[in-house]
Structure 1
């Protein structure tokens, strides 16, 4: 195929040399480029697998957090429905801890948290009502209405512990739908979360 094309171009050169002298050099340049130049290479942008793995890891992390918070809300809903509002916070805290442990979750109750501030270390700075699976802070209240300072309290806990999600649960509300707040610390809530009630990011 290449040989026949070269023969055709050579004939065209001879013919143009006599009939169209001005075009001879152009035909020669074109034929030389056409026959011997290598085809251009397409550059395909390289994709890094690290980005895909990071996205997958983040998706898995959010899904796990959603499952944990979903179990907590479900247990709190049943507890509120079974015992009703008006009891002490310590009662709801103790019962919720037992129910979450029965569901297979790891729960630390009244966990002491130490932190540093301006070069000073406080070994027992504050206590968390419940820390579930070492990733979700649960702050329990039994008041008529939640106030903005309660939400800020949970958010401060999350920032000091560098944790993504916390739940503020008020068993004093008439219904648990009115008493649950989800506080998010620099984490986009997942659309697939089991918690749909009064979700807030502060």
Structure 2
């Protein structure tokens, strides 16, 4: 998983992530690289089920703005309603892949996602943890007046 900064989360979530990584490694060990993402998604779903790890494939999620739904997305696999998995079969991760996971984490109010790239010869070289910690607002929720407007 490289030398990226490791941020520890609650022990149950960490244990869940490790169990999922173990399942993904087993799928990769059995299938190897080279298939489509959908093949790995189905195989990983079977492996998670065999390990009694609750999950949902292609889980719909909504994007809200000021209380209104403005968009929708699909999470590849949502594990135990706590962990987002984004599966890839690509040469290397690009910034957009991490941004996608962060967007899903924001939309679901979750803290941890795993990017898993099944194209790598060694799956451990295709794993990336994505941690999202909501930022506290630096100012009050009331917008400041625009230049030239009064506060009355």
SS state at 1:70 partner: helix
Instruction: Quote the Cα distance in structure 2 between the aligned partners of 1:158 and 1:120.
Output: 18
Where relative contact order (Cα < 8 A, 6+ residues apart) is larger, the structure is 2
Calculate the TM-score normalised by the size of structure 1.
Answer: 0.59
Between structure 1 and structure 2, the one with the greater Rg is 1
SS state at 1:86 partner: coil
Instruction: Quote the Cα distance in structure 1 between the aligned partners of 2:66 and 2:16.
Output: 34
Q: Runs of 4+ in structure 1 displaced over 4 angstroms? A: none
RMSD: 1.8
Instruction: Quote the Cα distance in structure 2 between the aligned partners of 1:73 and 1:114.
Output: 26
Shift of 1:120: 3.6
Query: 146, 149, 162: which is aligned to 2:96?
Result: 149
Map 1:107-122 → 2, pairs under 5 A: 107-118=55-66, 120-122=68-70
Calculate the TM-score normalised by the size of structure 2.
Answer: 0.78
Cα deviation, 1:6-44, whole Å, max 9, x if unaligned, reads: xxxxxxxxxxxxxxxxxxxxxxxxxxxxxxxxxxxxxxx
> How many residues end up aligned between the 2 structures?
127
The structure whose residues are more often helix, as a share, is 1
Name stretches of at least 5 consecutive residues in structure 1 with no aligned partner.
Answer: 1-58, 188-202
Cα deviation, 1:58-92, whole Å, max 9, x if unaligned, reads: x9x71100111011100111111111111000000
Name stretches of at least 5 consecutive residues in structure 2 with no aligned partner.
Answer: 1-7, 135-152
Aligned twin of 2:42: 94
The structure whose residues are more often strand, as a share, is 2
